[in-house]
Amino acid sequence: MSKRSDIKSPAAVDEDHKFVSACQKGDINAFQPLVEKYQKRMLNLAYRMTGDYEEACEIAQEAFLSAYRAIKNFRGEARFATWLCGITINHAKNRMKMVQSRSRHEVPSLDDPVETENGRLPHDPPSDEVPIVEQLERKEVQMKVQECINSLEEEHREVLILRDIQGFSYEEIRDILKIPDGTVKSRLFRARDAMKHCLKTVISDL
Amino acid sequence: MTECKQIQDLLPAFLEGILSSDEKRLVDEHLATCQQCSAALVEQKRITLLVQTLDEVEPPPWFAQKVMSKVREEAAGSPLTAHHSPITRIISRLFYPLHVKVPIEALASVLIVVLAFYVYRSVEPEIKVVQSPSEVANPSITLPGTEAWKKPGQPGASTLTAENKPALGRWRDKTADRITETPGTGTPKKLAPQEAPPLGSPTGEPSKTETRESAADRMKQEIREAASSPRQKEALQEQKVPLPAPGASEARGTVSSGAQGGMKEALDSSGGQSTGQVKTFAAKKAEPIGFTLRVNDVTTAVGEARQFLGQLGARSMSAESRDGTAVVTAQLAVEKIEELLKKLSTLGQVEEKGSRPATAEGFISIRIEVTGKP
C-alpha cells in the first residue's frame, strides 16, 4: 500500500485543492493535472470492479467528465481523491448493471473478449524481468484472484477493493460509499471470508 | 474449537493492526499454543498478499488527452467557463433548466392574462359608445321627441335628470338604452309609437320633413359628440345647465298651460308629452298667424277666446291687455285654425293676417289681437 502514499500526503492534497479551485474559476487546463494524477488509480478501481479493461477505460473517462461537470459543487470537505473514487464507483456500478441487462438480451458477439477456460485473456503487458513460466503462473493466479473478486457480491466487492487494493481507510470508505463504520467493517469481514473460500477453491496449493 | 473460530475471525483485523491491546494479547497468546490457528494466520496472510499485490493496469497513453478533449467539448457547451461568445451565451439562456424556465414562463403567462383583462375592461365602454349610434341612429331619428332629450332645459330632459339620476351615473353602460328611450321618463321606445297616434294625427308633414333632414343631421352630430365626450354630456345634464334654447321655456309653458286647459288626458302618458314636444318644435319653426278681433267688450271677448282656445287644445296661452287692446297668444294645432276662426267670428269681426302654413299637421303660434269696435 506504500505505492499510494504519495496521493495521501498533505502536500498532494493541497496541490489538488489548488487545481480544483482553478477549475472552479473556469480554468479548464487546471483539470489536466488532476486527470494525469488520478487516471491510473481510477482506471484500476474500475478495472477491479468490472474485470474488463475496455469497460474500465470507458468508466474512468465518464467519471472524470462527471467530476468536471460537478466540480463547482465540490466543497473540499473530503479529499479530491475520495470524491473522485465515489464518482468512479458509482459509474462502475451503473455500467455493470447496464452490461448485465444487455448481455441477457444479446447473443455473444465475435467482437466480445475471448473467453478461455480460466477466464478472459489478461490485459497486463508481461514484465521482461520475470521468467516466462513464473510470469504465466503469476498471471494465472492473478486471473483467479480477479475471478474471485468478480464472484463477490457488489457491496462486498467495492469494500474489499477500496480497503485491500486501493488502501483507503475505514473513514474514507465510509465517506465514499456513504455507509456507517460498522457496515464497512462487517461488509469487509464477509468480503474477506468469501475471498478466502473462493481462493481456496480455485487455487489448489493455497 | 469455539475459541479458535473467534480467534480466526479476528485474524484479518490482527494483520491490519487495528485490534485493541486486549484483543491483540488474546490472539498472541492463542497463536502461541494453537497450531491450527497459526496455520490459519499464514493462510490469511497469503490471501491478503494475493489481493494487495495484484498488478496494476496502466492507462492507455491517449487517456488523459481524450478526457481533456471531452472536458473541453463539454465546457464549450456549458456556462461553466467565462469565455463564451455572446451568441453562445444567448443560446444557453434559451435553454435554462426547467426549474428556472417554468416559473418564469408561468409568471409571464399570468401577466399577459391580467394585462389583456385590464385592457379589455378599459376599452369596453368606448366599444359600447361607438356601437350605440349604429344600433339606434335610425329608430331615434324617426322617433318623436328625439330633439327634446338633448336639451337639458326642456321638461323631458329635466325630468330625466330628476328621475334618472342613478341611471346617469351609469352613463357609459346605459348609453345605448338611453338613446333608444323616449326622453323625460325613461320609457322604452315602444311606448312612443303606441302613444303617438292619438296626438300624432295632427302632426303634419313639416314636422316629419324637418325631423328627417335637419334633425337627422343634428342627431348624428350630437351622437358623435356624445360618443366622443360622454362625460361632458353627463356633466351638463347633472348640473342642469340651461342651454340657450328658446323652445325650452316655451315647451315647459306648453305643458303647464296644456294641463290647465284640460289636456290632461293627452299629457298623462310620456308618449303624449314627448309628442307634444315635437309639435312644439314644429310650431316654433312656423310663421305665426295673426287675427284681429273687433268686439264690443274686449274683456269678455278675451275670456271667450281663451275658452275657445282651451277647447281646441291650444297651449302656451297668454294674454296681455294694454290701452283697451288685448293680445292673446297661443300654440294651436294647424287643423284647428278654421274651427277657431268660426268660433271667433261669433264674438265679433275677425281679420286674418299673415299666411297659413303649407302643412296640415303640427302646432302653430297664433296671435289674437282683440280690440274694441270704434
- Among the partner residues A65, A72, A149, nearest to B74 by beta-carbon distance: A65
**Residue B333: helix, strand or coil by DSSP?**
strand
**Residue A79: helix, strand or coil by DSSP?**
coil
More confident residue, B247 or A147: A147
pLDDT of residue A67: 93
CA–centroid distance for A140 within its chain: 20
Compute the CA torsion angle A199, A204, B1, B3 (nearest 10 deg).
-40
**Rounded to the nearest 5 degrees, what angle is found at the Cα of B231, between the Cα atoms of B228 and B233?**
85
Q: What is the pLDDT confidence band of residue B140, given thresholds at 50, 70 and 90? A: very low
| Residues β-bridged to residue B322 | B325
Q: How many CB pairs below 8 A link A and B?
A: 96
- A206 at interface of B, judged by CB pairs closer than 8 A: yes
> What gap in Å lies between CA B279 and CA B288, rounded to an integer?
14
**Residue B325: helix, strand or coil by DSSP?**
strand
Which of A124, A24, A6 has its CA nearest to residue A74? A24
Distance from CA of B71 to the nearest CA of A (A): 6
The pLDDT tens digits of the residues spanning A148-163 come to: 999 999 999 999 999 9
> What gap in Å lies between CA A85 and CA A92, rounded to an integer?
10
Asked if B50 and A123 come within 8 Å (Cβ–Cβ), the reply is no
The pLDDT tens digits of the residues spanning A62-85 come to: 999 999 999 988 887 788 899 999
- Among the partner residues B52, B60, B82, nearest to A1 by beta-carbon distance: B52
Q: What is the pLDDT confidence band of residue B255, given thresholds at 50, 70 and 90? A: very low
Asked if B57 and A26 come within 8 Å (Cβ–Cβ), the reply is no
> What gap in Å lies between CA A62 and CA B44, rounded to an integer?
36
Grid cell listed for B119: 385592457
Q: What is the pLDDT confidence band of residue B168, given thresholds at 50, 70 and 90? A: very low
| DSSP structure class, residue A77 | S
Which of B218, B201, B206, B305 has its CA nearest to residue B261? B305
Task: Please count the other Cβ atoms lying within 10 Å of the Cβ belonging to residue B4.
Answer: 13
- B89 at interface of A, judged by CB pairs closer than 8 A: no
Which of B45, B48, B51, B66 has the most A C-beta neighbours within 10 Å, making it the best mutation to test the interface with A?
B51
> What gap in Å lies between CA A121 and CA A54, rounded to an integer?
12
Grid cell listed for A64: 472524470
Q: What's the complex ipTM?
A: 0.78
* pTM: predicted TM-score of the whole model, two decimal places: 0.46
Label residue B192 left, alpha or beta by phi (over 0 means left) and psi (-120 to 50 means alpha).
alpha
Which of B55, B62, B59, B54 has its CA nearest to residue A56? B59
B249 neighbors B158 (Cβ within 8 angstroms): no
